[in-house]
Chains A and B, each alone.
Chain A
Amino acid sequence: MSPEDWRKQKRDITVMISLGLLIVMAFVLSMNTGFIRLSPLDTLRTLFGGGTAKEELILFDFRLPRIVISVLIGAGLAVSGCIMQGISRNALADPGILGINAGAGLVVLLFVAIYPTTEAAPVFMLPILAWIGAGLTAALIFSLSYKRHKGLLPTRLLLTGIAVAAGISAATIVLTLRISPEKYQFVATWMAGSIWGTNWNFVLALLPFIAVLLPFVFCKARMMNVLNLGEANAIALGARVSREQIVLLMAAVGLAGSCVAVSGGIGFVGLIGPHVARRLVGPKHQVLLPTSALTGSLMVIVADMLGRLILQPSEIPVGIIVAIIGAPYFLYLLARPSS
């Protein structure tokens, strides 16, 4: 290993460790903030079992699951976006813009509209349903933007994605008007991108997907580097391009779908997480993928915390905060001469 590589590796590790530390800090801060404030000392005391019953209830039953979910969906969405940007070789791809979130959301919404209550049994069903919705949407978009001999056409992918997203939101509007006002409030909050599943069941429902898919994708990092060279080069290097693309895409869809089931339509994390990560560590997927996961988690924790802080006592859904920060960043990326 040349000294330069060595320096680069050291830098990457520093970046990841500092991101990790930032997440821990945000984690602790986030535990303190909310309608009822707990001081850092109280939080620590409660964490180690010395708190009052009320403090324990707030921390263990409300805040902690929510923060853990923020970390998970942030990582899931950002890695999903990173895969999509890699496969389509388009820096502006993301599950939200491509309409995959919307597809997952529509299926979940259908279920909520039909199912009598919004709680109880369906928790474990939701990620699977969202999976199905996301998968169908992705299949539709990719079949429309795939051309034989040329592979995926990145431009067409984006345009198709935007159109499909518009169609799905039209269907969603039809559906939301049919449901009762109580369900509507729930669905509207959910669609705006709110972490609504604030109990451990949701963590358990989401965790297997993240825990299986993230390591799997990390193992595929080398393959993604190869795919990034373009279809022809990748084939020349002996990669089975179509198969790898489909496998990776399924992983991306799985991640996005299961995250959307608990968090609703949080857009832009999948776009901005990987972008910031690429600025920090460069384009090699071995480091880019884990760094994306970290930046995504950090973004969602901070956005969720801000959402609870800004308009107390009511909450702003994370998705809205992320869009308000994310959309200008997206526009900035678009306006940059090089992109």
Chain B
Amino acid sequence: MRPTPNTDRPTSHNLMRFHFSLLLLVTAGLVVAFAPLPAQPITPQERTFEIDAHQFAYSPSEIKVNPGDTVTIQLVSTDVVHGIYVDDYDISVEADPGQSATLTFVADKPGSFRFRCNITCGAMHPFMIGKLTVGSNNWLYRSIGLAALAVLGMTVSRKQKA
């Protein structure tokens, strides 16, 4: 952040204050982004989802589980061959038309992940996408916090200099 043109040349005192608020902001940002949250102890469960795959969507297209759960996905393709690939978990399974296939994994990474079709199944195939949320989508909340903090910091530092 550099001084804006329509304020006077910053005095060293002002500059120090500016650097200090910048430091405070960056620290606050780091806390928002990386501070560990208290883990809520939830006993892991076994969960099964039947996901119906058809051109070009899954239903249900959003599934939510708790961290540590053992998740079984029964993928049923109702028209052509579809698959499911879970981002970040890097696991996948494919199902032939009218058939079902099973994918079991332990949801040990918390957060929100896209899952997507990994078998070219038609025009909109690259956009055949669903969403798996493990625990709560903390990264989203942290990001929104960062955005709010950034804007607040800029408005305040602007006022201070004015």
- The answer to whether A and B come from one shared complex is no
Residues of A whose CB lies within 8 Å of any CB of B are none
Residues of B whose CB lies within 8 Å of any CB of A are none
